[in-house]
Amino acid sequence: MSGLRAQKKADKNRRILEAATTLFRKVGYDSARIEDIAEMAGVSVGTFYNYYKNKGDMLMATVSMEVEEVLAAGEGIIAKKHDQVASALFDLIGKYYDHSLTYLSKEMWRTAMSLSIAQPETPFSKRYTALDHRLSKQVCDLFRSLQDRGIVRKDVDCMALGELVFNNVNMMFIEFVKDEDMDVDGLKASVAKQNLPVASLISVGAH
Amino acid sequence: MSGLRAQKKADKNRRILEAATTLFRKVGYDSARIEDIAEMAGVSVGTFYNYYKNKGDMLMATVSMEVEEVLAAGEGIIAKKHDQVASALFDLIGKYYDHSLTYLSKEMWRTAMSLSIAQPETPFSKRYTALDHRLSKQVCDLFRSLQDRGIVRKDVDCMALGELVFNNVNMMFIEFVKDEDMDVDGLKASVAKQNLPVASLISVGAH
DNA sequence: CTCAAAAAATGAACGCGTTCAATATTTTTT
DNA sequence: AAAAAATATTGAACGCGTTCATTTTTTGAG
């Protein structure tokens, strides 16, 4: 039987991933030791490193899942027939933020962001950055969609503005995960306030 | 002589700081081992930890110096009599970026940012965040100053817009330090492009 | 079925940041 | 000036992520 090796491999992969995510959520990323993850998965420490390049790599699976789902949900929001810039932005960004803690804790987000900044040449960082860019592009797409439907002024550079707005969304999310006391509603309110001048200025018919 | 202890202390403090910054710049933050810093400063490893809480704390001294100088320079920019929003922003932000690599390398910036995100409860992170907020406030101040002088429309929320613009400046700086190939001019050009729609929309008399 | 090559698993050892009990130095008290 | 108290220094030891030489398991050819 030639599939025995592949089967064992898939099984171990699953067990390690399961053990890691369980422990990350239970005791936090930092306190979850590789030794513990390996033990819970029923493998040795060395085997862990056969399946994952390092501890941070384990996070990326979860981050990826999280962001992919958010991107899919975002497409649905963009397809809607919004009649206001501010509310369209609020919907899209709200979706991002609402979903953000589904699989990841604030501590896990902090670790992921921290890693992606500290070691930009790693696959981890590159994948993280790529996901960020897709989110950024989605905000641009929303502006363009609104512009096509006559909600946003024709003379606005949607790409530039989308990047600006998304970078603010992202930076505010960093502040959010840095502050254990801040809740999603507070975050959404702050960002909505920051977006308001922009929304009002680019709206057709305003002023 | 009662000052002997204080004198020795100050001397060691200076030697450690000097050794650390020298090594950080020479071999990079990660590769500079505490053991090496201690040896170069002529003290033991334990003594290093008597003077600095941890390795990251050593960075904060440098980051502080860097940002304090930038803030001072920023005040000068704000005091100028600008007649265009776009060019005023370009001046202020350009000053930030031009100064950014004076004392710190990209790697040191990455480490500092990474630490401030990963461990938000540490004094390091709190000081870093406080510096960020002062920079953000300065951008708001610039908008308000332009508004007072009739360059920016009266109905614009300068606070909200300043935060938005600064968060973009900050996020773009993160991308900059993550990419060893990107230069300051490229960074300034990208951010200028992102600011253009905003500058144009809030300018008095435009449209 | 046998055996050699390939693939995978293992855990002891390493590197480095950090801690802490023991030691040394300086200051204060008498 | 001697003893006691306060403060500073030290480096061996610890924790944990990561590596790697060795051992075990699986595979496919003869």
pLDDT digits 0-9 by tens, B104-163: 999 999 999 999 999 998 888 999 999 999 999 999 999 999 999 999 999 999 999 999
Q: Do A117 and B178 touch (CB under 8 A)?
A: yes
**A125: chain B residues, CB-CB within 8 Å:** 178
pLDDT in tens, A16-33: 999 999 999 999 999 999
Q: Do A164 and B118 touch (CB under 8 A)?
A: no
What percent of chain A shows pLDDT beyond 90? 85
**Residues of chain A found within 8 Å of residue B203, distances taken between Cβ atoms:** none
Say which residue the tokens 């030794």 belong to: A35
Find and list the nucleotides of strand C having atoms within 7 Å of a protein beta carbon: 7-13, 16-21, 26-28
Contact A203/B at CB under 8 A: no
Q: How far is CA A52 from CA A3, A47, A63, A107, A116, in A?
A: 21, 9, 15, 20, 17
Distance from CA of A41 to the nearest CA of B (A): 27
Tokens matching residue B8 = 């020795």
Confidence of residue B2 (pLDDT cuts 50, 70, 90): low
pLDDT at A204: 81
Q: What is the pLDDT of residues B23-62, one digit of tens each?
A: 998 999 999 999 999 999 999 999 999 999 999 988 887 8
The pLDDT confidence band at residue A123, using thresholds 50, 70 and 90, is: confident
Q: What mean pLDDT comes out for the span A80-87?
A: 96
Task: State how far the Cα of B57 lies from the Cα of B38, in Å rounded to an integer.
Answer: 15
pLDDT tens sequence across A194-205 = 999 999 999 887
ipTM attached to this prediction: 0.88
Residue B193 pLDDT greater than 60, yes or no:
yes
- A to B CB pairs, distance under 8 Å: 102
| A49: nearest nucleotide, CA–C1' criterion | D18
Helix (H) or strand (E) holding B38: helix B34-41
Could you tell me what percent of chain A has a pLDDT over 70?
Answer: 98
Q: How far apart are the first and last CA of chain B?
A: 74
Interchain pair B157, A198: CB under 8 A = no
**Going from the N-terminus, what domains does chain B have, and what CATH number goes with each?**
1-52 (1.10.10.60), 56-202 (1.10.357.10)
Confirm or reject contact between B160 and chain A (CB < 8 A). yes
Q: Residue A36: which nucleotide is closest by CA–C1'?
A: D16
What number is the average pLDDT over the span B11-31? 93
CA–CA distance, A85 with B128 (Å, rounded to integer): 34
- Of A162-166, B33-37, B61-65, which range is least confident? B61-65
Which range has the top average pLDDT, A6-10, A54-58, B4-8, B72-76? B72-76
Give pLDDT, residue B1: 46
Buried b (16+ CB within 10 A) or exposed e, B101-133: eebbebbbbbbbbbbbbbbbebebbebbbebbe
pLDDT score recorded for residue B155: 93
CA distance A108 to A30: 9
More confident residue, A5 or B191: B191
Q: For residue A129, how many other CB atoms are within 10 A of its CB? A: 16
- pLDDT tier at B92 (50, 70, 90 boundaries)? very high
CB-count burial class (<10 Å; 0-12, 13-18, 19+) for A143: buried
Q: What is the DSSP letter of A205?
A: T
Neighbours of B64 (CB within 10 A): 15
Q: Scanning the structure block, which residue is given the tokens 């090594």?
A: B23
Looking at every residue in chain B, the average pLDDT score rounds to 94
Tokens of B114: 């990474």
C1' (D25) to CA (A123) span, angstroms: 31
